[in-house]
Amino acid sequence: DAKTTQPPSMDCAEGRAANLPCNHSTISGNEYVYWYRQIHSQGPQYIIHGLKNNETNEMASLIITEDRKSSTLILPHATLRDTAVYYCIVRVGGGNAGNMLTFGGGTRLMVKP
Amino acid sequence: GAVVSQHPSRVICKSGTSVKIECRSLDFQATTMFWYRQFPKQSLMLMATSNEGSKATYEQGVEKDKFLINHASLTLSTLTVTSAHPEDSSFYICSASTPDGLLRFGQGTRLTVV
């Protein structure tokens, strides 16, 4: 799986948009970008994923650059409950149950009042 | 949505005893489940891949005789930490792949060996 690079930490004011960047310059054509987050002492929670088009769901938006070498996760209106470690992971997608996730260091997002 | 349930959420055991952690896929079948371990302020580290009906595949450096994995059905995998020692104290997390290819995670188990 391609390696990702994320800033170790970020702060965001409550109610503002949180933009979390991720670099994945060695991503290959069949690899998706996945975002998970881990709130303290809980298991990781799936947020969103995409291949090359921008994606949006009820939790967040995912913006992938045209060359697919980087992406940004956007939490449009951050709340205190969004304080967590956010992991950007690239891996081959689809229904292959054998593809585990390799976690990097992630970004520790602190949402402040 | 697809749910992975892990039990217990926390356990304290005496040194030398064994502890079993269960991981269940509640509304889907999972032929493959994964077990991770996480130390404080560190990222998740894959320990092993659990395959239904066959032996687990362990990552390098993980003792298979110490961390016994059983995946006897399509909805249940168990991790048994045998002869636990204080250095085995950690946060253990399982995950399973849903039919649409997403990996869902359990709530995690905080193991403390005293």
pLDDT at A101: 78
Tell me which residue of B10, B61, B39, A82 sits closest to B48, measured CA to CA: B61
pLDDT at A2: 64
For residues B2 and A19, the model is more confident at A19
Computed over every residue of chain B, the mean pLDDT equals 93
> What's the pLDDT tens digit per position in B26-75?
999 988 899 999 999 899 999 999 888 888 999 999 999 999 999 989 99
Among all residues of chain A, which has the CA nearest to that of B111? A41
A49 touches chain B (CB under 8 A): yes
Strands (DSSP E) along A1-113, which ranges? 9-13, 18-23, 31-38, 45-50, 55-56, 61-64, 70-75, 84-92, 107-112
For residues B98 and B61, the model is more confident at B61
pLDDT at A1: 62
Q: Is the peptide bond before A8 cis (omega within 30 degrees of 0)?
A: no
Q: How many CB pairs under 8 A join A and B?
A: 60
B69 bridge partner residues: B79
Kindly determine whether residue A41 and residue B108, on different chains, have CB atoms separated by under 8 Å. Answer: yes
pLDDT at A72: 98
**Chain CA centroid to CA B80, Å:** 8
pLDDT at B53: 84
pLDDT band of residue A97 (cuts 50, 70, 90) is very low
Residue B2 has pLDDT above 90, yes or no: no
Average pLDDT over residues A89-112: 78
Kindly determine whether residue B105 and residue A45, on different chains, have CB atoms separated by under 8 Å. Answer: yes
Contact by Cβ (8 Å): A99, A31 = no
pLDDT at A99: 61
pLDDT at A74: 98
Among all residues of chain A, which has the CA nearest to that of B57? A98
Average pLDDT over residues B75-89: 96
Residue A61 has pLDDT above 90, yes or no: yes
Q: Measured between alpha carbons, how far is B51 from B29 in angstroms, rounded to an integer?
A: 12
Q: Measured between alpha carbons, how far is B32 from B38 in angstroms, rounded to an integer?
A: 20
Q: Measured between alpha carbons, how far is B98 from B1 in angstroms, rounded to an integer?
A: 10
pLDDT at A42: 94
